Every structure is written in C-alpha cells, then in structure tokens.
Amino acid sequence: KAGVTQTPRYLIKTRGQQVTLSCSPISGHRSVSWYQQTPGQGLQFLFEYFSETQRNKGNFPGRFSGRQFSNSRSEMNVSTLELGDSALYLCASSLYPIPGQSTDTQYFGPGTRLTVL
Amino acid sequence: QQQVKQSPQSLIVQKGGISIINCAYENTAFDYFPWYQQFPGKGPALLIAIRPDVSEKKEGRFTISFNKSAKQFSLHIMDSQPGDSATYFCAASRGDYKLSFGAGTTVTVRA
C-alpha cells in the first residue's frame, strides 16, 4: 500500500506570495492532519479534516487554511507569506477517526519544504 | 506553551548501549502517547504507542514505560545500533486527532 504522498517536495516563494500544498492520504484513510515543523517551534498542529470538514484547528493565523476533497485528498494554503513561514509542512493520515476516542495511528508523509525569501 | 516536555535534547550512546528519553505532560485528558522516529529529510514514522491503562509496552528493542500518577513516560532503546541514530519525538493527544509533540531528542549511536 502506498504511503502518504505530498507534493511538491520543495518550494521557494517570496514574501507576500501565496502557496498551496497537496496531500494524498493512504488509500482508505479518511482523516488528514497538517503539521508545521521548524527548528525553533518544533512540530505544531495546524488542522485536521475528516469528510471534507475541519474538525480541529491549531493556533495559527487565518492566513493558514485548508480543505479536503471527497476523495480524502487535502490541500493547505498559506496566503501573504512571511519569512517565518519557512518550514517543513507535514501531512498525516489516519484510518478510522472516531470522535471522542483516542487518536488512532497517524502516518506521516515526507513533507513539503517551504522556503520563503 | 508546550504541553509535552521532552529531555534530553540530545544524547550519545555506544553501540549496544541503552538510550533513554523522558517525557512529561500536564494535561490529564491525554489518553494516547506515541513515539515517532525521524531521519533527516523524512517525515516522522511511528515507532510505538501506549495508552494510560498500560504501564509498559515493548516492541522489539523499543520499550515505553508509562507512569500515570507522575504524568511521565519514557522510551528505552535497548542494544542501540548506528541505524537508530535519528531524532525521536514523544507526543500526546486526547482523542481529537491533535498530536502535541515534545521538542525532540537527537540520538547518536557511536559504533
């Protein structure tokens, strides 16, 4: 079974631009979560989607947004890029998310390395 | 505000030795505690996970010890190998699919 795939793997943008990152979960997985990884802040939760609905959101400004499609693929968008947005953006998928129950295993993709100049 | 505190930041161990990484949490609503391994240029990969109703879980050379009353859990890597050199993250969640990660521990295994 193919793992989580993320495209593109690397991106270079300039301040003020916007960017869209894509994530394809493992086949059959319906929950997709996004995380930002930086040397200073570590791994931080951005948001989680299930059945095209955002169920949970981390403490990031509104410039960070996402969506999920009917085939469970997900995209995240960052508008008006800032230097501090340079990071590795990771997508993770889970099999059967049941609200209120302990988090099931999250499988991470290789990430998209975003550099903002 | 970091919800999961991880130590040490880095450690060096000889081949065949034991690596021990500790994590502590405050939120008693957490009920799932995974450990992830990350190599440079790769995404984190799940190593082993535990729930609070179990005090210890072992998978191969990796063991999680969990102390619910102390709100602490740790990862032991037995018979450490050079291929274990990586960054290890502990994490916790409370059934909302939002993982709170520790800051990470870089493990270097010397041959």
Give the pair of three-digit tokens for residue A56: 């949970």
Tell me the average confidence (pLDDT) per consecutive run of 10 residues in chain A, 117 residues long.
Answer: 92 98 94 94 94 92 97 97 97 76 78 97
Tell me the average pLDDT of chain B: 94
What is the predicted pLDDT for the residue at A2? 81
How far apart (Å, rounded) are the C-alpha atoms in residues B73 and B71? Answer: 7
The answer to whether the beta carbons of residues B108 and A55 sit under 8 Å apart is no
CB contact under 8 A, A90 and B43: yes
Rounded average pLDDT over B32-37: 94
What is the predicted pLDDT for the residue at B95? 73
Return the SS3 of A47. Answer: strand
Partner A contacted by B97 (CB < 8 A): yes
CB within 8 A of B67, min separation 6: which ones? B55, B73
Identify residue B8 by its one-letter amino acid code. Answer: P
Scanning B20-79 for CB atoms below 8 A from A yields 31-32, 34, 36, 41-46, 49, 51
What is the predicted pLDDT for the residue at B2? 74
